[in-house]
Amino acid sequence: NAGVMQNPRHLVRRRGQEARLRCSPMKGHSHVYWYRQLPEEGLKFMVYLQKENIIDESGMPKERFSAEFPKEGPSILRIQQVVRGDSAAYFCASSHSEDTQYFGPGTRLTVL
């Protein structure tokens, strides 16, 4: 039973480009969460999604960031016009219900 999958594991973008981060939840899980961890800081909640619905996006920056979890396929976190301050580790987690979350290995985004 595969765990939470994230890809790419490492992503390098130049300022102004777009970054797309993908997350496939564990089999049977319909709840997906995205977190960001800046260097030397703790995990910060970004968004909580269920299939085709955004449940809570209170942690998402107001501009340039969006997330989706379509009926088919992985959840996508999209960052438009990246800036150096977006460089961070982005973790996805999934759960069966609104309870224990299991994390993927993360995507390390570096903005040059």
Partner 1 sequence: RKEVEQDPGPFNVPEGATVAFNCTYSNSASQSFFWYRQDCRKEPKLLMSVYSSGNEDGRFTAQLNRASQYISLLIRDSKLSDSATYLCVVNTNAGKSTFGDGTTLTVKP
- Partner residues linked to 83 by β-bridges: none
Q: Which residue in the set 34, 48, 65, 69 belongs to the binding site for partner 1 (CB under 8 A)?
A: 48
Q: Collapsing DSSP states into helix, strand and coil, what is residue 20?
A: strand
Task: State in angstroms the smallest separation of the CB of 59 from partner 1.
Answer: 9
CB of 35 within 8 A of CB of 42?
Answer: no
Binds partner 1 (CB under 8 A): choice among 13, 104, 109, 111: 104
Site string for partner 1, 75-94 (x = CB under 8 A): --------------x-x---
> What residues contact residue 52 under an 8 Å CB cut-off, 6+ apart?
69, 70, 71
> Which residues 6+ apart lie within 8 Å of 87 measured at CB?
39, 109, 110, 111
105 binds partner 1 per the rule CB under 8 A: yes
Nearer to partner 1, 76 or 89 (CB): 89
| Interface with partner 1 (CB under 8 A) | 31, 33, 35, 37, 41-45, 48, 55-56, 58, 89, 91, 98-106
